[in-house]
Amino acid sequence: MPFVAILGAGPLGGALAYALASRSRFDEVRLIDPEKTLAAGKALDILQSGPVDGYSTRVSGSASLDDANGAWVTVLADPVQPDPLAQLKDLHRRSPGALVVCADASHHTVLARAVATGAVPPDRLVGTAPTAMAAAARALIALDADLGPSLVHAGVRPTADGRCAVDWHRTVIDGVSAELVLRRERQVALDARLAALWPPGPLTLGATAARIAEAAWFGSRQVFPCWWVTDGGASVPGVHALRFGPGGRVRGSAPLSAGVAGAAVGR
C-alpha cells in the first residue's frame, strides 16, 4: 500500500497531511509526532473531513517512528527537537528507498549537514521551500499586474543568507519578460514585500511539499526549484531545477544560478 510518512504534526505537518489526503494520490498518510495525542488528533480531524471534501485517503497518527518503515516518501515537516539531523538519518534508515523531503524553510542547513556526514545520500534528499517561494512570488506579481497567477511564471534564485528571491531574468508575465513589463522600482518594491514574507506560511509550504512528494514517487514533467546538495563539502545547499521520474528518481537537474532554461515555475 503506497503511503507517505510525515514527521512533525505541528501547523506545517497538519497542512501537509491534509493536502496529501485531499489529493488522493497516496492510499495512506501517516502523521508521526512524539506528542502522540497531537498527531492522533490532527489525523482524526483530517480523516473526518474526507466525506465533506470527497476523499477517502486513510490518515493515521502515531508517536512511533516505526510507522515510517517502508514509506514510499518520507517528509520532515515541523522542527522536532532535539536533533533534526538524527531524525533525517532515522527516516532514511527506516525507508532507504524513499526520497526524504524537507518541507520547512529552516531546513536548508540540515540538508547540507546530512549529506556532509553521510546520514542521507544526496540523491535521496531535497528541500521544497524554494518552490513555495516561487508560488508566493507568482501570487504577488499577479496581483500587482492585475492578472491571474496562471499567467505568471516566477523564477527564483538563492540568496547569501539561505533565503530565496525572485529571479527577474527568468520571470515571465503573460508571455513577456517581467523586466519589460515591470519598471525597476516595481521590482524592488516586490522584492521587499517578498523578503518580508519569508518564510512562507504552513499552508503554502504544506501544499508545495505535497506536490513534490507526489512527483517524487509518481513522476512529473513539471520543474521544481528545490534545495539540493551536490557537493558533500557545501555548507548550504544550492537551489536546483529538479524533475522527478517514477520512484523518486531525479530525472534532471541544473543550478538556477547558471541560467537554466525552464527554471521559472508556473502552474
pLDDT, tens digit, 9 for 90 and up, residues 120-166: 988 889 999 999 999 999 999 999 999 999 999 999 988 888 889 99
φ, ψ for residue 142 (rounded to 5)? -65, -40
Local structure of residue 201 (DSSP, 8 states)? P
Mean pLDDT, the chain, rounded, equals 88
Q: Where are the alpha helices (DSSP H) in the chain?
A: 11-23, 36-48, 50-53, 84-94, 108-116, 129-145, 178-181, 184-196, 202-218
Q: How many helices (H) and strands (E) does the chain have?
A: 9, 14
Is the pLDDT reported for residue 80 higher than 90?
A: no
pLDDT of residue 66: 93
Is the pLDDT reported for residue 167 higher than 50?
A: yes
The set of cell numbers assigned to 97 is 528507498
Number of Cβ within a 10 Å radius of residue 192: 10
Confidence of residue 258 (pLDDT cuts 50, 70, 90): very low
pLDDT of residue 253: 65
**Percentage of the residues of the chain whose pLDDT score is greater than 70:** 90
